[in-house]
Structure 1
Amino acid sequence: MNNSLVVDDTHFFADVCQFFDHAAQFTKHPQGLLDQIKTCNSVYRFQFPIRKGNSFEVIHAWRVEHSHHMSPTKGGIRYSDMVNEDEVMALAALMTYKCAIVNVPFGGAKGGIKINPKNYTVAELETITRRYTVELIKKNFIGPGIDVPAPDYGSGEREMSWIADTYYTMNPGQLDAMGCVTGKPIALHGIAGRREATGRGVAIAVRECVSVAEDMKPLGLTAGLEGKKVIVQGLGNVGYHSAKYLTEYGATVVGLCEYDGALYNPDGLDFEAVMNHRKQTGSILGFNGATQEFKNPAEGLEQECDILVPAALENQVTEANIGRIKAKVIAEGANGPTSPQAAAAFLERGGIIIPDMYCNAGGVTVSYFEWLKNLSHVAFGRMDKRYEENANLNLVNTLEAMTGATLGAAERKMIIKGASELELVNSGLEDTMIRSYHEIREIKMQNPKIDSLRTAAFVGSIDKVAVSYMNMGIWP
């Protein structure tokens, strides 16, 4: 197994709790309340058989609901042969804190199915997904007001559509049934912009971080993304869109790491060309636009760059390799890619870590928008787009009549245009990521003892969850 994809299967939840405990010392909440916030409320572990060829196979699966301080709970379903209970618990906990950070009114949850999707036919994957959904329904672990899954590593729109259809089949006539899951295809009541939301959010988070000149100066960097060199690990949905939007914002992608190897070019890589090369050959290796190629993908993380974006799996930056990481900013596109020990060493030498619980929150933010769309039963922009355009047109015509000036066709079109659903979603996502970053940074700046953005993010989320519990009357 490649070093970059080895996951410690017993300490992820402990790592999250370690970060939590470190941040909790900067709050004033009683220990009992902190223990309630930290623990997982419900852990559902189950197995079910499926037919595979002429034999049967037992599938192991989980659904964890970490916190019910708000309902419904929310979190993706991971399809991986490396998934385990500890990992699902850790990811559920991170979802609680993530939702609090970006002010999305959900509790945290997560699901896992212990399979490698590549080893199953589409029909077999459908059977597994639908059977998983039935098990959740039987135990009341899914529903638009109960627990709302979403895509995660190894799953996507296809699997979410199977979940939605299964839920509706078993709940005929339920008006809000499509709100039982997010990340659905547009044709099945999904929302524009959801597929690229996490990667776009990562890019916005990085842009906000490096835009603060005061924070970049100690790193020897200028403010802004222009000219910054970036290495991205993972060319899945999150990694691809992170690279895409970082490039659009002015950064230069110099390194790409995948499970089968890594590429590097200090002058920049055309990641779209790399993707096309992988489609044609099945691997990123052999791409002629790279000046260096590494069969061990872990080496790709260690090349010269300003910003490292680990967007694959957890536990990728550890004590073993942190000393060789040359980046000055780590933007955690994946969940838990940096171990606590590695994070401490990186911060000690002056680096900045944009924590996962904020950095990759774009997905749950737009999932929230999709859930609202499903509950309201109307697409964003449908009611007011045409009215907005007519109002803008009347304003332009009036100004032209008063001033005698005439706008060109392109200018007129740009000013008159009403917002589409995609534009409204992207606007809401951008506003959320910008506001949340500066809220976290403000917490850090107000308390000199807070050592990192991660600790500040935890402090903010702990405070919000604690207030929710107290307002519910659960805690005196």
Structure 2
Amino acid sequence: MLSRLCQSVQRVAFRRFSTSAVASEEPNFLEMVNINYDRACQHLDIDPAVLELIKRCDSSLTMTIPLRRDDGAVEYFTAYRAQHSRHRTPTKGGTRYAPDVDLVEVTALAFLMTLKCACVNLPFGGGKGGIKLDPKTLSLGELERLTRRYAIELAKKGFLNPATDVPGPDLGTGEKEMAWMMEAYRFYNYDNIYATATTTGKPVSFGGISGRTESTGLGLYYCLREFLNDAYYTTPVGLKTGIKDKSLIVQGFGNVGYWAANFLERDGAKLLGVIERDGAVFNESGISVDEVKKYLIKKGTLKGFPKAQFYEDVQDVFKKPCDVLIPAAVERSITGKNAVNFNCKIVAEGGNGPTTPRGEDVLASKGILVLPDLLMNAGGVTVSYFEYVKNLGFIRPGMLTRKLESTTNKWIIDKVMQGDTKPSKGTISKILDGPSEQDLVYSGLEDVMCEAVAETKKTSQEKGISLRLAAYTNSIKRIYDSMKLTL
């Protein structure tokens, strides 16, 4: 019933899309987000003028940043930052270093961040930034100088501040870039005691939080687990409930793809294939997640991996049969053109915007369940929120309660030990030690993601719409509720 309902809804949406100006070709990323947004708006009783206001980007910035290279030459780089919505502040979103970064992409990603934060009920608006470059072409010193200058220019223009706009990492950036940006801001704003909260995704020693690295992949794992444990969603696609023995193909084996596969493998899932830019590997008998990751780090390519067949054309592996396909790389990798060849049962979107509207229509017509990025990709920003709160509070999570909990747990253990049922020494030790920061992060992330999944399921079933439209609908309604007093 679910499969027929989704297909019916998607066929109607496909007919609307086919008559649009972009029907002859796949839309760009911003057009994709707008199409999904407009589809969701049809299921909301909100003034169209307000819906248009929510859709518009509040402000964006384009800059030229000079960099003196190690050889003395000066090179100029184009940099961007967009604050899509300030219905809640600060705005929150990653910083992308890539050759194809442009204002359209940054604006689309900022819009997606607005919706994503609302989907999991975080008190952030959406933002995004980036610099048009290949970070591999710069030395470490050049990268640091460029990043610090970028941060200073953002701060001068009101696009970097713990109260207004808080960047995090994205493609091409990581912990060191976030630490450099935070330090650059703090150097020129030494009287701002909250300066450490200027960025998230920092090293733990610079105010970061345990569990941030794996957070997006772990968030996807929690969400996928909730769907796989629900027969309402597994039965229509021909799967039994549970993660055990489910086969996976992962596109993009960075933090998101690797950690999602890692946690799923621990629960009994089997990785069959990995897709990267320069090729893909597949073995129907299974591949060790850690083995392929170590090989990829060491060689920089999947070519030559001894325990799977290598394919130059990555589309060959997209076509392979599996239970769950996880696109965790660049946007628009699943289109109307290649989706017709997919043989998976579920697409769990680990990256931002991996499936075009036409691609999703094709998947739905084949009875493939699509779990949307708005929900599945929200683990990273959720743990970034935990880091942000930690920085504002100047205290480690659990610091005030850990000793009290340990004392209380010791009393409980003593009482249990006096009875017949005695826990193991390992269990006793874990209880007495109390939760670590990572334990608290994992627990908080699980709670946020599971609640968002439940809300998305409820809206999807009540309105008879796809999970993507349900996630968008919930987000728009939450944003509208936050804006009511200012309209």
Q: Residue 326 of structure 1: CA displacement?
A: 1.0
Q: Which amino acid aligns with 2:362?
A: A
Gaps of 5+ in 2: 1-24
Q: Residue 128 of structure 1: CA displacement?
A: 1.1
Indicate the residue corresponding to 1:51 in structure 2: 68
Aligned equivalents of 2:338 and 2:26: distance in 1?
19
Indicate the residue corresponding to 1:465 in structure 2: 479
Counterparts of 1:71-470 in structure 2, within 5 Å, are: 71-290=89-308, 292-401=309-418, 403=419, 406-448=422-464, 450=465, 452-470=466-484
Helix, strand or coil at the partner of 1:162: helix
Helix, strand or coil at the partner of 1:149: strand
Q: Residue 400 of structure 1: CA displacement?
A: 2.9
Q: Residue 283 of structure 1: CA displacement?
A: 1.5
Question: Per-residue CA shift, 1:207-240, capped at 9, x if unaligned?
Answer: 1111111211111110111111110011111111
Q: Residue 279 of structure 1: CA displacement?
A: 3.2
Aligned equivalents of 1:233 and 1:431: distance in 2?
27
Aligned equivalents of 2:246 and 2:187: distance in 1?
50
Contact 1:261 1:294 in 2 (8 A): yes
Contact 1:9 1:87 in 2 (8 A): no
Q: Residue 398 of structure 1: CA displacement?
A: 2.4
Aligned equivalents of 2:375 and 2:422: distance in 1?
46
Aligned equivalents of 2:222 and 2:167: distance in 1?
24
Gaps of 5+ in 1: 1-7
Aligned equivalents of 1:280 and 1:107: distance in 2?
39
Aligned equivalents of 1:287 and 1:427: distance in 2?
36
Contact 1:362 1:433 in 2 (8 A): yes
Count residues with an aligned counterpart: 462
Contact 1:10 1:86 in 2 (8 A): no
Cα 1:29–1:396 shift into 2, 3 Å: same
Question: Per-residue CA shift, 1:245-290, capped at 9, x if unaligned?
Answer: 1111221110001111100011110121112222333321111111
Question: Per-residue CA shift, 1:95-118, capped at 9, x if unaligned?
Answer: 001000111000000001100011
Aligned equivalents of 1:31 and 1:192: distance in 2?
43
Question: Per-residue CA shift, 1:330-388, capped at 9, x if unaligned?
Answer: 11111011011001111122211111111010000000000000000000011111221
Scaled by the length of structure 1, what TM-score is found? 0.95
Aligned equivalents of 1:84 and 1:350: distance in 2?
35
Identity of counterpart residues, as a percentage? 40
Helix, strand or coil at the partner of 2:287: coil
Cα 1:405–1:465 shift into 2, 3 Å: closer
Aligned equivalents of 1:406 and 1:56: distance in 2?
70
Scaled by the length of structure 2, what TM-score is found? 0.93
Aligned equivalents of 1:367 and 1:168: distance in 2?
19
Helix, strand or coil at the partner of 1:458: helix
Helix, strand or coil at the partner of 2:285: coil
Aligned equivalents of 2:297 and 2:62: distance in 1?
37
Q: Residue 317 of structure 1: CA displacement?
A: 0.4
Helix, strand or coil at the partner of 1:257: strand
Aligned equivalents of 1:405 and 1:426: distance in 2?
29
Aligned equivalents of 2:115 and 2:217: distance in 1?
19
Cα 1:407–1:434 shift into 2, 3 Å: closer
Q: Considering only aligned residues, what root-mean-square deviation do their CA atoms show, in Å?
A: 1.4
Aligned equivalents of 2:221 and 2:113: distance in 1?
20
Helix, strand or coil at the partner of 2:286: coil
Question: Per-residue CA shift, 1:138-181, capped at 9, x if unaligned?
Answer: 10111111000000011000100000100000101211000010
Q: Residue 324 of structure 1: CA displacement?
A: 0.8
